[in-house]
């Protein structure tokens, strides 16, 4: 079921500048990068020791990340919890009345978000990595 913490998502106005900071200042290593053209954002997963951060940058005005930054500013966007038996976990959360949103499945992972209203104000991603994603 729930395996533990996976990463913290950080919304960044300038993704490359933020990535450079994490690499040069914190010694982070880039472990995964992808563009989500439909949602108009790009993401880079970095690791600092055992800690992982997903840096999120908008590809154009009006994207979900752009709207987030305009409303709340740069900073923590979400926390991510890793699970196995993804469908079973999601069914359980639904049965508990949690509000789920934004599900996606890629070759690398399955994910869905729990609305902040269901998680004490914190946008929470539930993720099940596939293969060696994020290692």
State the CATH number of the domain containing residue 48. 3.10.180.10
The range of the structural domain enclosing residue 58 comes to 2-129
- The whole-number average pLDDT for the span 16-36 is 96
Does 16 fall in a domain?
yes
Does 45 fall in a domain?
yes
Is the Cβ–Cβ distance between 88 and 94 less than 8 Å? no
Does 42 fall in a domain?
yes
Report pTM.
Answer: 0.93
Q: Which residues, in sequence order, are CB contacts of 73 under 8 Å at separation 6+?
A: none
Whether pLDDT at 135 is above 70:
no
Supply 18's token pair: 């933020």
Number of domains in the chain: 1
Interval 97-120: pLDDT, tens: 999 998 899 999 999 999 999 999
Whether pLDDT at 132 is above 80:
no
């Amino acid at each position: 079921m729930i395996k533990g913490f996976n990463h913290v998502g950080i919304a960044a106005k300038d993704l490359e500048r933020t990535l450079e900071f994490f690499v040069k200042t914190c010694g982070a290593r880039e472990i995964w990068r992808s563009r989500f053209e439909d949602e108009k954002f790009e993401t880079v997963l970095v690791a600092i020791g055992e800690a992982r951060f997903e840096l999120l940058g908008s590809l154009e005005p009006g994207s979900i990340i752009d709207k987030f930054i305009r409303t709340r500013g740069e900073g923590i966007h979400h926390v991510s919890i890793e699970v196995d038996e993804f469908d079973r976990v999601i069914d359980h959360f639904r049965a508990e009345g949690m509000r789920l949103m934004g599900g996606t499945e890629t070759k690398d992972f399955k994910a869905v978000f729990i609305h902040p209203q269901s998680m004490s104000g914190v946008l929470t991603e539930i993720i099940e990595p596939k293969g060696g994603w994020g290692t």
